[in-house]
Structure 1
């Protein structure tokens, strides 16, 4: 309401947030790409005619092919008496060392066609392979089937694998075996198109002469038989050292290698068998790119695991919160029913204080609704805080009894409230925003809990008047679900952090004890309420005291309002942080109320952008049915909770259909408000009052839905409540 010097809101953090989310999405996508790898034999083979004709030099050739970019083909076979054992899909932390141990025991060497992403996960095993005298070939980065893959994707897979091997071993692979491949006579047209591209990148393509199909785990005897070449012939033998339980493969090696060595066979690498030079040294650039790739991949995996844990924590917290809310709502409902069943009691003169700044659209309706209340002992004090419109004049021209207008220079809402308190004559103050309209029984119901001398303040039930359109429905649901369920829970837990400015009653003694309404924060109602609790008073919630308020009608207005609320709440939390270590009512506020606000209104909303990024990642990399089931379950719980909250408030279930749509715009707006508020709080900025443009919707609503008068006040005011003067500190 009042003017404050403020620092311009920072903007760089939005760029940083966007970059952070893009990096997070990229990291998660990299993890999703490399971790959802197929198993050998799981892909359907390409159609035989796909990709055109296969040259006879391939189908009739040997296992190791040199294919030019122009389609020229030459091939070479293992010499007689020579076996090149090859192992696909590794490295594996369990099975690759066991395979190496068997090879070392019989002084054999082999060729390992390794998946680049797995090399990044286990570079030490790749180094063990090279140190043992064996060699490493490329098996793509993510176990991609080259046939039918986009050319650029295949090129990237080869480059990434080369960099991964270079970083782990210092060598650059020159052999490449496509996943899901077999012998040359099984090459299809689509396979050959991919092989041409691979050959064009400078790789020798190593297929196989003997495919053991050990990935099926057919038994040790079957693997041994499938691995043996024709008498005296050489062969490239395909085996696997990863992708599942490879105990049969290891056992087959134990039996086959010594038996074949006794028959004069030697076990060498593919390059050694063909007389090829050793693998070239990788360049410094290739090694550094490989190291960077490994860091990115491992970071993506860590982030994916961390996000999964975060999601689980959020789900558990939300479930616990919901259960506590529902239990407290039932307990609070029973308590309120018992209070409402008793006759309404007169507690003497009630002073209603209305701070107003440019409220010409609603002020007349607000004042009339107050005087129309069925509580007879009432005075209304309108404090015009330097309005530039005709707010004060409108009230004065109404010439209503029991209404006073006080004009002051613009000093802010807390100052206006304190001015009203100084002029008030009652022992009970009701503080009302200038855009709020009371129902006829609101005053009488609001003050009833003050019969208990331990109660220092009462929160009423604020409802949205302009609930038409999606934005209005969303705010209506938020008020009913979040605000009112939370208030019931806070009441039961005796840690109510906020009595809303729209409708709240305060005992004069409580106001005196805290020195009036402070101007230290932008959320003066939250700050004031916390101070009342810390002074030893109890704050309760009375849902039957209903007031209608005009909610923001545009996203811009909503942003400004919630930004001020959120920033002010953070200020109040920081101001009252010492309550965390105090005892009694202050300790309950700190450990229950502030703890709840910190978790559910600060920390979880701050993590919400990452949750959204994780959800986008899930759409592409997690089973669609699983993602849909989680979303549907989450939405169903929300709808059920909303339906119960609407029932508690006596509201129609009609707006429920709009609840799932809140996840599209409204939720993102709310958590971005928390991000902005947190940045401003950390920077120590000051935020000015933003006044919402009023349309008079609250007045129009109460005029159209005026309820029947409540039961008359029949009980006398209790004795022992003498009014005491309020002494204010000098500011």
Structure 2
């Protein structure tokens, strides 16, 4: 269908008449989807401390600059005023503090023990964990515990700039606000211990923290539960002397904390029996609450933050499942192709193999053509030069470039031209079938050329009366360019190796439009070619399966087709193929419930086509998304090894497919580059097809521009085992 173009300088909305180029929606939408997925992964990496985290820990320094009253003072350090002040917990009071949480496994157990023994505590939470488990932070507040900041990513603040410290504090507060709707004035620096251990590196940080309005809380008793010394030892470590008050350091995250929980369950009743009270910090100090309710914009910011974090975790979990699925599908497909294609090759290449009596009867070859002036002569002459008796019917589908006239001027015997108004390829093929004289009908594209033996090899399977259609071996004729070489790899590996597999499984999904043959009886019984889908070749193949016929693959029936030579044309072709395949699958969805031998396609073929040709390519970008993520944020070495592992599997299958097809291995040099560039284009095409299908859009036929430079090499003599490629016989 012709497309109108505007003159340069026509009305475009630009003041100077110049044309504004906008990014097409088919590119914009997939880019936005992929960008959103990457953003979710980035957020997930940030929250899980895989991005922007600083895990360096500074060794202790001297205490030259630290005021002596701080070193000798209590564990609560207030530097908000001009002069620092310290506070101690009164005797017979204990403030249990838990660092690094909340943890989804151990924090609930700690909270349960505290609730059982009617004890309060202070939880110094990190922003990363609070963002991921907001329900636990909310439970802490609801049950009377206090919350303190422990930074967002748990870095040693003595290494950080003031800007980074502000960022750690604000992000930590944002997470707490989103989780529980509060702000807190309590802060504990990561890797801190006692007031006496304050040195000239950590003291300036403590002073700056006070200037930001926070009270620093260190510890007076360390349980050393991170060493996992056993519950009894933990209890001894946290038991104060002579009834003194204490701030106790424990952990509810960072590993297996069952010893902490066990020690806590025994320690609380023991100390309560000695008259100790377990309060949160402000209760123990008889001070105003450290919590402030947050409302308005700040509350909404916190809520939005937690929502996004939850979404990123959920989406990432789904992506990981999708990655596992695509990994399984890729390996399963390669495994099936590798094994079943070998079985197919051994079966059809046996000396005693035969489809039945040799097929020598004449064949009708249908060539639907729309504006194929550059290609049609080569196509017709390749048929006339064939080794099998044929009649050639060129169906001119309303061409405007003189295609029909070119064929008529050739005046070749056995060649007829049938003209019709432009009605589309299915209508042209049906018109050709109506005009065909013979029972066996070969269909090809107007830009394709056959080898002399192609028709002969293509019709031999009809020696088996159960065979209703035969798929030929379509090859890329213009493979001398990089994009042509990539399509050549795709045709040999992705299409023909697939066809060998589906042949063994007796569920061939597609007779390629470039080279296929049909029994007229089979075509008539299913109603001929349909224009219900844009993949009429896939549609008719599925219909013939469902009618009970066998569909097989003839590897020696080679046809050379002109593949698209520009990204735009390749996009248009694959978009139509992908969308048409989805349409055909949907049209024949009831094949899943077909009974008897004709139901084999529905039971086996349709699920495999849906998995390998629709679902797997849709999920395949996950491999590259996680590849980029792993390369940037780690683990880099494992990511690279995994990618090269997948590439190695693909290279083995590609090499095997080239050997089976007796092709030169040289084009496989570009396989790694194909995986990086060409495959991404196919992803976006399929994503666009999905979007079109889900939104109910309609896609029209699009004519590809041809150059007519493809010619077929001479075929091997009948009965020989070699193939002629580029004028040379390959054994």
Using the size of structure 1 for normalisation, the TM-score is 0.85
Alignment correspondent of 1:198: 209
Alignment correspondent of 2:718: 710
Alignment correspondent of 1:491: 503
Give the structure, 1 or 2, with the largest relative contact order (CA under 8 Å, sep 6 or more).
1
Is 1:467 the counterpart of 2:476 in the alignment? no
Is 1:575 the counterpart of 2:626 in the alignment? no
Task: Give yes or no for contact 2:113–2:264 (8 Å, CA) kept in 1.
Answer: yes
Change over 3 Å in CA distance of 1:258–1:370 after alignment to 2: closer
Change over 3 Å in CA distance of 1:593–1:339 after alignment to 2: farther
Is 1:479 the counterpart of 2:510 in the alignment? no
* Matching residue within 45, 67, 75 for 2:85: 75
Give 1:484-523 correspondences, 5 Å limit: 484-523=496-535
Task: Give yes or no for contact 1:46–1:147 (8 Å, CA) kept in 2.
Answer: yes
Alignment correspondent of 1:442: 454
Give 1:14-33 correspondences, 5 Å limit: 17-33=30-46
Give 1:78-157 correspondences, 5 Å limit: 78=88, 81=91, 83-92=94-103, 95-96=106-107, 99=110, 109-123=120-134, 125-127=136-138, 129-130=140-141, 133-149=144-160, 151-157=162-168
Change over 3 Å in CA distance of 1:490–1:103 after alignment to 2: closer
How far apart are 1:328 and its partner, in Å? 2.1
Is 1:372 the counterpart of 2:385 in the alignment? yes
Is 1:165 the counterpart of 2:176 in the alignment? yes
Mapped partners of 1:97, 1:532: distance in 2: 61
Deviating more after overlay: 408-417 vs 440-449: 408-417
Mapped partners of 1:484, 1:152: distance in 2: 60
How far apart are 1:194 and its partner, in Å? 4.3
Aligned length: 698
Structure 2 residue runs of 5 or longer lacking an equivalent are 5-22, 721-731
* Matching residue within 309, 322, 339 for 1:310: 322
Is 1:298 the counterpart of 2:298 in the alignment? no
* Matching residue within 23, 48, 59 for 1:35: 48
Deviating more after overlay: 103-112 vs 80-89: 103-112
Change over 3 Å in CA distance of 1:31–1:255 after alignment to 2: same
Aligned-CA RMSD value: 3.6
Is 1:527 the counterpart of 2:539 in the alignment? yes
Change over 3 Å in CA distance of 1:249–1:75 after alignment to 2: farther
* Matching residue within 185, 191, 203 for 1:180: 191
Alignment correspondent of 1:213: 224
Alignment correspondent of 1:363: 376
Alignment correspondent of 2:639: 627
How far apart are 1:495 and its partner, in Å? 2.0
Listed one character per residue, the Cα deviations across residues 618-669 of structure 1 (whole Å, up to 9, x for unaligned) are 4455522332232122111111111111111111222223222223222222
How far apart are 1:123 and its partner, in Å? 4.7
How far apart are 1:34 and its partner, in Å? 2.8
Task: Give yes or no for contact 2:56–2:156 (8 Å, CA) kept in 1.
Answer: no
Alignment correspondent of 1:720: none
Mapped partners of 2:695, 2:144: distance in 1: 59
Task: Give yes or no for contact 2:146–2:291 (8 Å, CA) kept in 1.
Answer: no
SS in 2 for 1:688: coil
How far apart are 1:567 and its partner, in Å? 1.9
Mapped partners of 2:199, 2:490: distance in 1: 60
Task: Give yes or no for contact 1:3–1:411 (8 Å, CA) kept in 2.
Answer: no
Change over 3 Å in CA distance of 1:421–1:72 after alignment to 2: same
Listed one character per residue, the Cα deviations across residues 280-299 of structure 1 (whole Å, up to 9, x for unaligned) are 43122344443333333233
Is 1:594 the counterpart of 2:602 in the alignment? no
How far apart are 1:153 and its partner, in Å? 4.8
Deviating more after overlay: 52-61 vs 657-666: 52-61
SS in 1 for 2:183: coil
How far apart are 1:210 and its partner, in Å? 3.7
* Matching residue within 342, 366, 369 for 1:330: 342
Task: Give yes or no for contact 1:77–1:234 (8 Å, CA) kept in 2.
Answer: no
How far apart are 1:426 and its partner, in Å? 2.3
SS in 2 for 1:691: coil
Change over 3 Å in CA distance of 1:151–1:544 after alignment to 2: farther
Mapped partners of 2:495, 2:377: distance in 1: 27
SS in 2 for 1:380: strand
How far apart are 1:88 and its partner, in Å? 1.2
Change over 3 Å in CA distance of 1:264–1:212 after alignment to 2: same
Listed one character per residue, the Cα deviations across residues 587-623 of structure 1 (whole Å, up to 9, x for unaligned) are 2233322222222222333334455444444445552
* Matching residue within 527, 536, 542 for 2:554: 542
Task: Give yes or no for contact 1:378–1:402 (8 Å, CA) kept in 2.
Answer: yes
Change over 3 Å in CA distance of 1:533–1:225 after alignment to 2: closer
SS in 1 for 2:512: coil
Is 1:653 the counterpart of 2:661 in the alignment? no
Task: Give yes or no for contact 2:441–2:517 (8 Å, CA) kept in 1.
Answer: yes
Change over 3 Å in CA distance of 1:612–1:192 after alignment to 2: farther
Mapped partners of 1:644, 1:447: distance in 2: 26
How far apart are 1:522 and its partner, in Å? 1.9
Task: Give yes or no for contact 1:46–1:188 (8 Å, CA) kept in 2.
Answer: no
Alignment correspondent of 1:719: none
Listed one character per residue, the Cα deviations across residues 508-530 of structure 1 (whole Å, up to 9, x for unaligned) are 22233233322332222222222
Alignment correspondent of 2:12: none
SS in 1 for 2:637: helix
Change over 3 Å in CA distance of 1:232–1:585 after alignment to 2: closer
Mapped partners of 1:458, 1:425: distance in 2: 19
How far apart are 1:53 and its partner, in Å? 8.6
Change over 3 Å in CA distance of 1:207–1:543 after alignment to 2: same
Alignment correspondent of 1:726: none
Mapped partners of 1:411, 1:102: distance in 2: 78
How far apart are 1:692 and its partner, in Å? 1.5
Using the size of structure 2 for normalisation, the TM-score is 0.85
Task: Give yes or no for contact 1:47–1:188 (8 Å, CA) kept in 2.
Answer: no
Listed one character per residue, the Cα deviations across residues 563-595 of structure 1 (whole Å, up to 9, x for unaligned) are 111222222223333322222454223332222
* Matching residue within 353, 359, 363 for 1:350: 363
SS in 2 for 1:690: coil
SS in 2 for 1:316: helix
Mapped partners of 2:335, 2:516: distance in 1: 27
Task: Give yes or no for contact 1:3–1:412 (8 Å, CA) kept in 2.
Answer: no
Is 1:640 the counterpart of 2:648 in the alignment? no
Mapped partners of 1:258, 1:580: distance in 2: 65
Give 1:400-439 correspondences, 5 Å limit: 400-439=412-451
Task: Give yes or no for contact 1:113–1:176 (8 Å, CA) kept in 2.
Answer: yes
Mapped partners of 1:124, 1:684: distance in 2: 41
How far apart are 1:507 and its partner, in Å? 1.7
Change over 3 Å in CA distance of 1:491–1:103 after alignment to 2: closer
Give 1:228-307 correspondences, 5 Å limit: 235-250=246-261, 268-285=279-296, 286-307=298-319
Deviating more after overlay: 346-355 vs 634-643: 346-355
